[in-house]
């Protein structure tokens, strides 16, 4: 069952607490990047490649990703564990 969770400000929150600042650059200017990741048996498929593409896409439109790939891997792991 979907618990409705999100990762925000360094920790897991219920989805009902998700907020986007009215000063958020993506909200104001409509820019952003995303990467869809498939999961099999609770494990991300080719996560390293997905994260590399995510960072390349951000760089291509002039955005800085504030997390290194290792940090993003840990975030994904934390969210999947909380969702399970």
In whole angstroms, give the CA distance from residue 1 to residue 36. 20
Which of left, alpha, beta for 25 (phi over 0: left; psi -120 to 50: alpha)? alpha
Q: Which domain holds residue 23?
A: 5-83
- 9-27 tens-digit pLDDT: 899 999 999 999 999 988 9
Tell me how many domains the chain contains.
1
Q: Which CATH number do you get for residue 67? A: 3.30.470.10
Q: What is the pLDDT of residue 74?
A: 94
Residue tagged 């896409």 (tokens) = 57
Percent of the chain with pLDDT over 90: 69
Q: What is the mean pLDDT of the chain?
A: 91
Q: Is the pTM of this model over 0.85?
A: no
Q: What is the pLDDT of residue 84?
A: 73
Average pLDDT over residues 45-52: 96
Determine the 3-state secondary structure of 23 from DSSP: coil
> In angstroms, how far is CA 7 from the centroid of its own chain?
8
The answer to whether 78 and 13 are in contact (CB under 8 A) is no
- Is pLDDT above 60 for 1? no
First to last CA, the chain: 9
């Amino acid at each position: 069952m979907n618990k409705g969770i999100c990762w925000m400000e360094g920790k897991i929150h219920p989805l009902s607490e998700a907020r986007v600042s009215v000063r958020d650059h993506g909200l104001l200017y409509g820019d952003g990047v995303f990467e869809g990741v498939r999961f099999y048996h609770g494990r991300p498929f080719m996560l390293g490649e997905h994260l590399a593409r995510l960072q390349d896409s951000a760089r291509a439109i002039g955005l800085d990703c504030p997390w290194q790939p290792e940090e993003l891997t840990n975030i994904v792991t934390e969210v999947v564990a909380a969702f399970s």
